[in-house]
Structure 1
Amino acid sequence: MNNQTLVSLAAPVDGRLIKLSQVKDPVFSQGLMGQGFAIEPVNGNIVSPVTGTVTLVSETKHAFGIKTQDGVDVLIHLGIDTVELKGEPFSVLISQGDQIEAGQAVVKMDLKMIEDAGKQKTVILAITNSNDILKQLMTSKFDQDVKSGTTVAVASIEAVATKKKIKIGNGKYDQLAADIVENVGGTENINSLIHCITRLRFYLKDDTKANDQKIENMDGVISVAKAGGQYQVVIGQAVTDVYDAVIAQIGSEYANNSATAEAVAQTTKEANQPKDLWSNVKSGISNFIGVLTASMIPIIGILAGSGILKGILAALTGFKVLSTTSGTYVILNAVGDATFYFLPVVLGFTAAKKLGSDPIVLAIVGGIIIYPSLVTMAGKASTASTTFLGIPTTLVSYTSSVFPIIVAAWLGKYVEKFLKKIIPLYLRSVFVPIIEALILSLVIIIGVGPIITVLSKGLSNGLVAIYSFSPTLSGLVLGGVYQTMVIFGLHWGLIPIIINDIATNGHSYINAIVSITMVAQGGAVLAVFLKTKDKKLKEVSLAAAISAFCGVTEPALYGVNLKYKRIFVVASIASALGGALTGFLKVNNYALSGSLIGFPAFITPGVGIGSNFYGYLISHYGTLVISVVLVYLFGFTDKMLAKKADPMNLNVKMA
């Protein structure tokens, strides 16, 4: 039986036929989109080169795809870099799903507008599933004039009837693919699937059937987003392998190679565009926040619950219902505090999974940096400054810290790769993990620790000096930056100052301003809870708000506010305004507690409820109102759910 089929390809436009390698775009000239040809057009009347079904019409109208009955995926790309013209030079006469004939008029293209914009007008045809289906492409003589609708090439393809079915094996990504398919609602909920250079892009029948939380928590998945009518699963560099595994399981009929080629072309071009320094800085910050929030997602629930428990305990001890020395308090406090104390261990494990390091090694690194004897030494001025093999260093307490272990998780995969190069195979299982743990721990203890110490002391002394100059200005600055300091571990320099103030003077103005920042972050997630229609986000936001009002902001910060960056920015502005109000009213704090649950700490000892407590009510509940209103009006909309950035900041919308 003949195992090949011949498919004729007509010229899509009048002009000069040229080789694909002559196209001034490496995505096409290097054959990354498949084999084909190009035409330098003399007019803008574009016709269909084949008979088939329209599978793609780009949102910016500069490209369209057609699938023939024989299974050939043809992509027509109109001009080079014309995506930047946002569809203005093109008048499209077809829609996705249309059945069209070879030679049928499909697009009107304004060549003058393209030339005036400084763009190339080359029309490109590529068979995007060349690797899967194409045996040979026979083309007419190049560098000659051709007429639209006339045959200029013949594709010899593998006949559909003889194509082999792909069997599901035990590949590296097969289980991940199966889990993703199951949690997007199964094959029966999928219309089609494409991918770009970082994301799987599902067209689902009903995206409410997809389980966002389960998919986001899968090893190998960075996050989930919804955009352009697509359900997007952010994978990263392994996206092609995962896509192949998914298609192998659900069937090639769900693939749309033309749309995939267009998505890959656009996102590749965007990724390769030179970026200025500010763009690189923004990308780096976005990547860091992405890893941070993705690492926190698995533990947000227990963090929120632990924060609420700690708040309840603070209230019970504040009202003298429980003593801090009682067995009941000690056990309940251990339950509430353990997640925070051992946060570097948990984050070491989850961040390593996201960044490709060894999760067990990074969990051990987390354990090393919060090892009790190191924490004890760091807590005493006489022992905090020490040496390691003659190298001077300053020890820092990393309990409850976030930033240092994320740095270690990022470095981990490079350290492990290096060690595997220099250590013989038969010794790796024993020596690679322990040497990697040693190197990463030393990077944090000797490298990160002293830097954090210097920066946090400098910031803290500066903030105290500002308070001496102007309490209102100090409140504005500290209220605005404190939660950012928390993210990078720079807030620890303030803690000894607050403790010393309370121990020496019996009160702390600084702690009153710090308390405000908790209320502002809680108010921000409360606004999200009130505004969003997403059930899962409502649930997370409410729990995070309660936790923040109990004095624990981690669930609000990492579960919601940083994830949708504008919320954090607006919340910080509200916090700055609240801090300024607190400083202006000279609100004082009389114990190491705060936020809304810690109101007893604002009752002046020996005086009772008086002007200071009223100042607390005005500043804290005023901040709550400011934060809720600002975030509700300017900080959040449900449209932001579709804009969560992937590691390369690419979110190209496809029609």
Structure 2
Amino acid sequence: MSTNREAARQIVEAVGGKDNIAAATHCVTRLRFALKDEGKVDSEKLENIDLVKGSFSTNGQFQVVIGQGTVDKVYKELVEETGVGEASKEDVKKASEGNLNPLQRAIKTLADIFIPILPAIVTAGLLMGINNVLTGPGIFFEQSVVEAYPQWADLANIINLIANTAFVFLPGLIGWSAATRFGGSPLLGIVLGLMLVHPDLLNAWGWGAAQQEGEIPTWNLFGLDVQKVGYQGQVLPVLAAAWVLSKIEIGLRKKIPDAFQLLLVAPIALLVTGFLAFIAIGPITFTIGNAVTGVFVGLFDALPAIGGLLYGALYAPLVVTGMHHTFLPVDLQLISNTGGTFLWPILVMSNLAQGSAALAMMFILKDEKLKGLSFTSAVSASLGITEPAMFGVNLRYRFPFFAAMIGASIAGMFITINRVIAPSIGVGGLPGFLSIVPDKWAPFFIGMAIAIVIPFIITFVFGKLRKVEK
């Protein structure tokens, strides 16, 4: 019997047998199960399987970390072993939704919307970081690079244009993803999002100044004055509008005969949603978004040390529950309203701290498999992917997880006191400094050092005192 086939058989037994598997699929590194009863999982048996590098449950799915390249081979053997048909990720998502409570469903909805557009946002953040290096004074010289070498100015301008595109047209990206998630047409979602940032509208970033001067343009709709305002960089308006658009579209498709759907469904859905977006949805959600931003800014302005300490300590537990996805819209809203987010830099501290704790375990553990897992998961965490470190190593032994929380909280407090902000979202690890405003690089690097050194020392010392060997 091949190694992969034997591993598949053992995994099936460890997760409660084939009768406990509602659906199964895999991603680049993990098997993903929708289980009927996660209480039947034998975690100890699962961890003793040679090919398994860790396991965890999230968003109603039980995931088993195998590793890139091997996971697809094990999955094929698993399908043959269980007789379960090959399922798509969407099939497993639907099968696992029965395990979620209403709050988890809401969080999962946000995750389903924002995770697909995250690569575009992170890429934009990295490019904006390169632009910051070229245009920020005091990095290499007293002047900026483009001031010292004017021939680089146009290159920096093009990089900035490419980087800004994802943020300027963010409602278009969210409209596409949200409409897809809500069961509507992705194309109509894109059109809706772009409609909210149409160049004929007053740019959202100029709304405050225009309001003070009393120069906000309006439409007069049958005696009702509607502000002619765009929603550049905004999150809530397009989320709510995409939900309304999708529900209208679904309702129309059920009632309008197929022969007339092409002529009637999209025009009616877009027209009704467009009117609602500008008359009610946009103004209401814009106000809510500003209020949310105001709460966070007010708290962190009044109590920066406590805010940084608590968010740094709690971010990793939020990842465990999946609730960290709710803060990406807040980050984007902060960037849009204030020009930068003070939350995302703390995320970097948490990721580095979890990786550092996992790395310390490599020097403590004797088992070669666990030592290898500790090292590879630490590398992954240093590049912003912390799940292998948290679920594969730190939560298994508990004290490394708490050591990382301590380091992240101290680092978060330090960078918050020093007003470190990120005008964009980038890679949540070692390359994260590229997304930080250049004049805050020094405190950010110090924060990174704190997030790496403190968890490593605490984990190593505590591990040696406890004589952890396996």
TM-score range, shorter chain: 0.5 to 0.7
Matches within 5 A, 1:239-638: 271=98, 279-293=101-115, 295-296=116-117, 300=119, 303-318=121-136, 319=139, 320-322=144-146, 326-374=153-201, 376=203, 379-381=206-208, 382=211, 389=221, 390=224, 395=229, 397-399=231-233, 404-423=237-256, 425-442=258-275, 444-466=277-299, 469-476=302-309, 486-489=327-330, 492=333, 496=337, 498=338, 513-514=342-343, 516-517=345-346, 519-520=348-349, 523=352, 545=384, 577-583=410-416, 586-588=417-419, 596-597=433-434, 598=436, 600-602=438-440, 613=442, 615-623=443-451
Instruction: Tell me the distance in 2 between the aligned counterparts of 1:434 and 1:532.
Output: 57
- Contact persistence 2:192–2:274 (CA under 8 A): yes
Decide which structure has greater strand share.
Answer: 1
Instruction: Tell me the distance in 2 between the aligned counterparts of 1:443 and 1:292.
Output: 24
**Other structure's SS at 1:357 match:** coil
Instruction: Tell me the distance in 1 between the aligned counterparts of 2:191 and 2:238.
Output: 11
- Contact persistence 1:346–1:363 (CA under 8 A): yes
- Contact persistence 2:311–2:409 (CA under 8 A): yes
Percent identity over paired residues: 19
Runs of 5+ in structure 2 lacking a partner?
1-11, 21-35, 42-71, 316-322, 360-370, 396-400, 426-431, 461-470
Higher relative contact order (CA 8 A, sep 6+): 2
CA deviation after TM superposition for structure 1 residue 235, in Å = 6.4
Instruction: Tell me the distance in 2 between the aligned counterparts of 1:442 and 1:629.
Output: 59
CA deviation after TM superposition for structure 1 residue 601, in Å = 0.9
Instruction: Tell me the distance in 2 between the aligned counterparts of 1:467 and 1:186.
Output: 47
Per-residue CA deviations over 1:584-624 (Å, capped at 9, x if unaligned) read: xx425699689623474138xxxxxxxxx5x5543343245
CA deviation after TM superposition for structure 1 residue 311, in Å = 1.5
- Contact persistence 1:456–1:493 (CA under 8 A): no
Instruction: Tell me the distance in 1 between the aligned counterparts of 2:169 and 2:372.
Output: 32
**Other structure's SS at 1:234 match:** helix
* Aligned equivalent of 1:191, options 76, 80, 85: 80
- Contact persistence 2:355–2:380 (CA under 8 A): no
CA deviation after TM superposition for structure 1 residue 60, in Å = 6.2
Matches within 5 A, 1:168-179: none
- Contact persistence 1:578–1:622 (CA under 8 A): yes
Instruction: Tell me the distance in 1 between the aligned counterparts of 2:349 and 2:228.
Output: 33
**Other structure's SS at 1:372 match:** coil
**Alignment TM-score, normalising by the size of structure 1:** 0.41
CA deviation after TM superposition for structure 1 residue 424, in Å = 5.4
- Contact persistence 1:377–1:395 (CA under 8 A): yes
**Other structure's SS at 1:370 match:** coil
**Alignment TM-score, normalising by the size of structure 2:** 0.54
CA deviation after TM superposition for structure 1 residue 425, in Å = 4.7
- Contact persistence 1:344–1:405 (CA under 8 A): yes
CA deviation after TM superposition for structure 1 residue 472, in Å = 1.8
- Contact persistence 2:353–2:451 (CA under 8 A): no
Instruction: Tell me the distance in 2 between the aligned counterparts of 1:524 and 1:281.
Output: 28
Letter of the structure 2 residue corresponding to residue 397 of structure 1 = Y
Paired residues in the alignment total 354
Letter of the structure 1 residue corresponding to residue 197 of structure 2 = I
Instruction: Tell me the distance in 2 between the aligned counterparts of 1:332 and 1:526.
Output: 31
Per-residue CA deviations over 1:551-586 (Å, capped at 9, x if unaligned) read: xxxxx79x999x99x99x999987654332335xx4
- Contact persistence 1:512–1:587 (CA under 8 A): no
Give 2:6's aligned residue.
Answer: none
Instruction: Tell me the distance in 1 between the aligned counterparts of 2:200 and 2:458.
Output: 45
- Contact persistence 1:420–1:428 (CA under 8 A): yes
Distance 1:494 1:437, change over 3 A: same
Deviates more, 1:314-323 or 1:340-349: 340-349
Q: RMSD across aligned C-alpha pairs, in angstroms?
A: 5.7
**Other structure's SS at 2:127 match:** helix
